[in-house]
């Protein structure tokens, strides 16, 4: 049965998150955009509301939240924080802690996840390296080798979210490395890299920070990993399956990114509509000129399309993870989450740009909240959690068949 209505539970949840976000986040985000740090008490308050890594199982302090509900939370957080810094932190942890919960060892989960869901330990993702982030199979140089009763890691990760927060307060990373540097996608292992377990940087790790153009409340940096020992139980999933688990994690992150960009675009759209209804030029409100009104209609149509695509993808994920014999495979999900991750940020950027233009000179000033939104959302059309072209590669693979992928063609030639 086709039904586009949210359930009563989902409606109540949306209202509760919206109330929370408008009360605590909406008045604070412009300050943390300037100070470059999300106040710890906001994260703690979210954790108290079971909104921090809520996709994690209840036994580790999570809420076992559905993907539809997790998207509702992302959307409402971004509606309140137009810079999207807090939603970024939320979505990184919600997606990657979920994959860790699904494939990690009991011992590691007991040790790490309760500290993540309580907001004490950041849970990030580290796949990108100086040699590249799109073609992980051919560019990953970080290695994982068995040593004594565990593993030793060497390499470097760059453009990683949450490095400053992890160094200051504690953080671990869902990390990808190769057990055989010359191997293909079956040579990857996923594991927990303990950057800082709360007692300072782990021996062998040195960090750097980059200055991004947007989402200033969350840091972006990198770390060199030199002979870092990790225990055996930090391995996530089976040896050789790391690449597949990473792809699953990207799908989870991408649907939440789409919901985040949708929320930011909705917030920007409302600001723009309110403005053009009251700002007068040539004797009438700007909204009463069709040149402006039709642009607004284009924005509205894009929001509807993105809402449907995003929640369709989230619903497919709930079907997949909630059923013993799901109708949708991980590849079906990858196709839809890639589509949502491609479309929602691009549309959001158009919607925010229109709203900025409607504000005239004020729209280009730092006083106007839209410029921070523009800077933040742009991160998801550039590359974070996979570049735009890579989303098209994922969709193209499912539409035309893997045999049409250019790099497979090259192998056959």
Q: Residue-wise over 76-113: b if at least 16 C-beta within 10 A, else e? A: bbbbbbbbbbbbbbbbbbbbbbbbbbbbbbeebbebbb
Residue bearing tokens 């990690």: 104
Residue with Cβ nearer ligand FAD (94 or 287)? 94
Q: State the Cα–Cα distance between residues 265 and 271, nearest whole angstrom.
A: 10
Give the count of beta carbons closer than 10 Å to the beta carbon of residue 10: 16
Alpha-carbon Rg for the chain, nearest whole angstrom, is 21
DSSP 384: T
Q: How far is the CB of 16 from ligand FAD (least distance, A)?
A: 28
Residue with Cβ nearer ligand FAD (213 or 301)? 213
Q: How far is the CB of 98 from ligand FAD (least distance, A)?
A: 15
Helix (H) or strand (E) holding 214: none
Residue with Cβ nearer ligand FAD (147 or 389)? 389
Residue with Cβ nearer ligand FAD (204 or 387)? 387
- CA-to-CA dists, residue 247 to 28, 53, 357, angstroms: 34, 19, 38
Q: What are phi and psi of 338, to 5 degrees?
A: -65, -40
Residue with Cβ nearer ligand FAD (36 or 232)? 36
Give the count of beta carbons closer than 10 Å to the beta carbon of residue 176: 27
CA 223 to chain CA centroid, Å, is: 20
CB 207 within 8 A of CB 156: no
Dihedral angle at the C-alpha atoms of 313, 314, 316, 319, nearest 10 degrees?
Answer: 180
Residue with Cβ nearer ligand FAD (195 or 317)? 195
Q: How far is the CB of 221 from ligand FAD (least distance, A)?
A: 9
Q: Is 118 helix (H, G, I), strand (E, B) or coil?
A: coil
Residue with Cβ nearer ligand FAD (305 or 382)? 382
Q: How far is the CB of 231 from ligand FAD (least distance, A)?
A: 23
Residue with Cβ nearer ligand FAD (61 or 124)? 124
Give the count of beta carbons closer than 10 Å to the beta carbon of residue 383: 15
Q: How far is the CB of 379 from ligand FAD (least distance, A)?
A: 4
Question: Going along 148-281, which residue ranges are E strands?
Answer: 150-161, 171-178, 188-196, 205-210, 220-231, 235-236, 280-281
Q: How far is the CB of 276 from ligand FAD (least distance, A)?
A: 31
Q: State the Cα–Cα distance between residues 371 and 356, nearest whole angstrom.
A: 7
Residue with Cβ nearer ligand FAD (45 or 185)? 185
Residue with Cβ nearer ligand FAD (55 or 161)? 161
Please state whether beta strands 171-178 and 122-126 pair in parallel, antiparallel, or not at all (unpaired).
parallel
Q: How far is the CB of 197 from ligand FAD (least distance, A)?
A: 19
Token pair of 354 as six digits: 């229109």
Q: Which residues bind ligand FAD (CB under 6 A)?
A: 124-128, 132-134, 159-161, 212, 220, 379, 382-390, 393
Q: How far is the CB of 126 from ligand FAD (least distance, A)?
A: 5
Q: How far is the CB of 391 from ligand FAD (least distance, A)?
A: 8
Residue bearing tokens 């497919």: 316
Q: State the Cα–Cα distance between residues 159 and 133, nearest whole angstrom.
A: 9
Q: How far is the CB of 127 from ligand FAD (least distance, A)?
A: 4
């Amino acid at each position: 049965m086709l039904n586009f209505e949210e359930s009563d539970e989902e409606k109540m949840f949306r209202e509760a998150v919206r109330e929370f976000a408008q009360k605590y986040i909406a008045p604070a985000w412009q300050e943390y955009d300037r100070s470059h740090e999300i106040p710890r008490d906001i994260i703690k308050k979210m954790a108290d509301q079971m909104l921090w890594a809520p996709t994690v199982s209840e036994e580790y302090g999570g809420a076992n939240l559905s993907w539809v509900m997790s998207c509702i939370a992302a959307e409402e957080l971004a509606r309140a924080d137009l810079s999207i810094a807090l939603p970024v932190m939320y979505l990184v942890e919600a997606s990657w802690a979920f994959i860790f919960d699904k494939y990690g060892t009991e011992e590691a989960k007991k040790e790490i996840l309760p500290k993540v869901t309580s907001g004490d330990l950041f849970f990030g993702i580290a796949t990108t390296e100086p040699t590249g982030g799109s073609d992980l199979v051919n560019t990953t140089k970080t290695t994982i080798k068995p040593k004594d009763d565990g593993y030793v890691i060497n390499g470097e990760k760059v453009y990683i979210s949450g490095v400053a927060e992890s160094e200051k307060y504690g953080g671990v990373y869902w990390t990808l490395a190769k057990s055989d540097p010359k191997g293909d996608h079956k040579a990857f292992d996923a594991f927990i890299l303990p950057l800082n377990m709360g007692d300072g940087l782990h021996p062998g790790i040195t960090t750097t920070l980059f200055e991004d153009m947007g989402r200033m409340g969350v840091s972006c940096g990198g770390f060199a990993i030199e002979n870092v020992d990790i225990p055996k139980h930090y391995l996530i999933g089976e040896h050789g399956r790391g690449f597949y688990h990473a792809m699953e994690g990207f799908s989870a992150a991408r649907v939440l990114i789409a919901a985040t960009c949708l929320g930011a675009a909705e917030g920007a759209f409302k600001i723009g509509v309110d403005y053009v209804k009251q700002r007068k030029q040539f004797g009438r409100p700007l909204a009463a000129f069709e040149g402006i009104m039709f642009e607004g209609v284009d924005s509205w149509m894009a929001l509807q399309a993105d809402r449907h695509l995003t929640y369709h993808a989230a619903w497919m994920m709930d079907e997949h993870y909630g059923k013993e014999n799901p109708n949708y495979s991980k590849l079906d999900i990858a196709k839809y989450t890639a589509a949502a991750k491609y479309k929602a940020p691009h549309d959001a950027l158009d919607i925010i740009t229109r709203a900025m233009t409607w504000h005239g000179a004020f729209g280009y000033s730092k006083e106007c909240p839209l410029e921070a939104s523009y800077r933040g959302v742009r991160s998801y059309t550039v590359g974070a959690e996979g570049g735009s072209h890579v989303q098209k590669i994922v969709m193209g693979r499912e539409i035309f068949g893997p045999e049409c992928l250019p790099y497979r063609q090259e192998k056959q030639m």
